[in-house]
Amino acid sequence: MPIINRIADYHTELTEIRQQIHANPELLFDVFETAELIVEKLKEYGVDQIVTGIGRTGVVAVIKGDMVGEDAKVIGLRADMDALPITEASKLDYVSKNIGKMHACGHDGHSSMLLGAAKYLAETRNFCGEVVCIFQPAEEGGGGGKEMVDDGMMERFNIDEVYGMHTYPDEKLGTFAIRKGAVLASADFFTIDIVGLGSHAAKSHTSIDPIIIGADIVQTLQSITSRSVDPMAALVISVTQFNAGTADNVIAQTASLSGTVRSLSPKVRDLAQKRITEIVNGVVGLHGGKVELEYRRNYPVMSNHADQVDVAADIADLIVGEENVERDVAASMGAEDFAFMLNKRPDAMIFISQGPGPELHHPEFNFNDEIIPIGVSFWVKLAETRLNELATSNKF
């Protein structure tokens, strides 16, 4: 089954919404205008309930099906609304009006596709149970998904399963990719503040050089990946900032390092944190000086549930043909805060290719409006099929 005809009719309207969101990007939880536009559209589409302010600026819409079934369930469909602190480098008619902010991760498209699904589902209501459309803020590092979960979203709307969809640039437009188990990494961050003893650069023997200590830490941290972790497990430790010193002839008093840790399993994540702590303290013990390590656990591993992967992949087969659905796509060390929702309920995230082009987070990235009808068709078919199946089979 290809694109649903009725949804093809929405293409122009949804493209306009997408480009309007693209032109007015907002960061993290400050997605006020975007949320307002979404609420306005949801009202127009006649959904049953709209709740704002979940996870600070998140929006949730409920649509009830007209079909009657035994023990009907509730499915959540999730999109994100926030942009990135990047200056857009494109010459689009609808280029970002907010300098230094841009939709470089396709969240403008995700929100528009979910609005399209809400419109169709509210119009047709050809399903048992309820669809909950989740528009979350602060995916890009702010943990908006966590805030919505902490606000009791899953319990409040009785959500049984949640699905996510993310666009990515790839050769063939309109293909889908998914995998069971860990698909995106945990993402933690660390800051290491070193206090040594500054001196005249010519009298280096009187110093405790924080740059020497910092360099030793950077080097030794790399031994965690190569010597502490099973080579078949994935781990990335990257020191991404190293700041110290103010002059050529002065040995600095302090240095500061920071970076990120990515892994695909909670066990490796724990091990990495433990070894980083040991190495930082050990190296400073060797050289002298003082150190403070701040380790911040951010997004957990995003691990798709097997049954829900089958559900999503089967629907994708229906929309674009099974030859266009990759069911065992390679995991990536990128991260997604959909992981917080996934840790609460059975769920899965699927990737939809928007054709070749600049990478996600690139200043020339742009969501491809051509995939809107495919994404919307996927959402509505998933909701209808899964809800009707659950209501009759009572698998829970």
Residue 163: CB minimum distance to Zn ion, A: 15
**Is there a catalytic annotation at residue 139?**
yes
User: Which is closer to Zn ion, CB of 166 or CB of 269?
Assistant: 166
Nearer to Zn ion, 105 or 134 (CB): 105
Among 28, 62, 105, 121, binds Zn ion (CB under 5 A): 105
Residue number of the CB atom closest to Zn ion: 105
SS3 322: helix
Q: Rank residues 117 and 128 by Cβ distance to Zn ion and give the closer one.
A: 117
Tell me the number of residues near Zn ion by CB under 5 A.
Answer: 1
The sign of the dihedral angle between the CA atoms of 26, 28, 33, 37 is positive
Rounded least distance, CB 254 to Zn ion, Å: 33
Only one of the segments 40-48, 98-106, 157-165, 226-234 lies at the binding site for Zn ion (rule: CB under 5 A); that segment is 98-106
Residue placing its CB nearer to Zn ion in the complex, 86 or 105: 105
Minimal distance, residue 367 CB to Zn ion, in Å: 10
**H-run or E-run covering 75:** strand 74-80
Q: Do residues 293 and 277 make contact, with C-beta atoms less than 8 angstroms apart?
A: yes
Q: How far is the CB of 141 from Zn ion (least distance, A)?
A: 9
Candidates 176, 180, 156; CA nearest to 168 is: 176
Euclidean distance between CA atoms 118 and 62, whole angstroms? 9
Is 82 a residue of the active site? yes
Catalytic site residue from 139, 160, 336, 369: 139
Cα(272)–Cα(277) distance, rounded to whole angstroms? 9
Residue type for 207, please? S
Three-state DSSP state, 258: strand
Using CB under 5 A as the binding rule, the residues of this chain from 147 to 176 that contact Zn ion are: none
Contact 376, 10 (CB under 8 A): yes
Radius of gyration of the chain (CA): 24
Q: Which stretch binds Zn ion (CB under 5 A): 50-58, 103-111, 201-209, 305-313?
A: 103-111
Among the candidate windows 104-112, 190-198, 235-243, 362-370, which touches Zn ion by CB under 5 A? 104-112
Q: How buried is 18 (Cβ within 10 angstroms: 0-12 exposed, 13-18 middle, 19+ buried)? A: buried
Question: Count of alpha carbons within 13 Å of 304, Cβ hemisphere only?
Answer: 26
Nearest distance, CB of residue 349 and Zn ion, angstroms: 10
Reported as type and span, the H/E element at residue 114 is helix 107-124
Single out the catalytic residue among 82, 130, 209, 384.
82
Q: Is 234 in the site for Zn ion (CB under 5 A)?
A: no
Whichever of 77 and 105 has its CB closer to Zn ion, that residue is 105
Interaction site with Zn ion (CB under 5 A): 105
Q: Which residues participate in catalysis according to the annotation?
A: 82, 139
